[in-house]
Amino acid sequence: MTKGNIRNHNKDFEFILENIATELHPFIYDHHKTWNLMSQVRKSNVQQIYNKALEVIAHEIQHHFKQEEDLILTRLKRYVNNQVVGPIAKLIDEHRSIEKKYHEVQKSYHQNPESLEFKKQINLLAYIIMKHIEKEDHYFYPLVSLILSQEEKAEISALFHILR
């Protein structure tokens, strides 16, 4: 990831916020923080950054993914009923793939956190997460902002803050 791509992401961030319902902004702020950390992973060779990334990814898997699935996807199912293909199936599939890759990276880390293999794997995971965030920010959340009712979005926002 080059500095130009990071700058573009930060520029896109403001545009993304303008085009996503305010009630869903906390999810986007999470994405922004995670994106910036994954960008650091991609351009550095610093063990402390890798350690922090592993902590953040674990938290995202346990909390952020769960919140998206429990708060947003359960409501979206009312409008998009197909659980085999489409945005719901794709998002859940990506969450599971990221979780699986995270466990592989963790295993590599425990074997040797200084190894080239670990560094390759964590860089790949960072890339996968960045692409996932990009997809959600540019496609999924704008769609959700249009489809869900104002009441549903307000409910998501209230529950998001309670679950934090």
pLDDT tens per residue, range 87-105: 889 999 999 999 999 999 9
Q: Is the pLDDT of residue 20 over 80?
A: yes
DSSP 73: I
**CATH number for the domain that contains residue 9:** 1.20.120.520
Could you tell me the two tokens for 4?
């130009």
Query: Structural domain tally of the chain?
Result: 1
Helix (H), strand (E), coil (C) string for 44-74? CCCHHHHHHHHHHHHHHHHHHHHHHHHHHHH
- What integer pLDDT is reported at residue 10 of this predicted model? 67
Q: Which domain holds residue 73?
A: 3-163
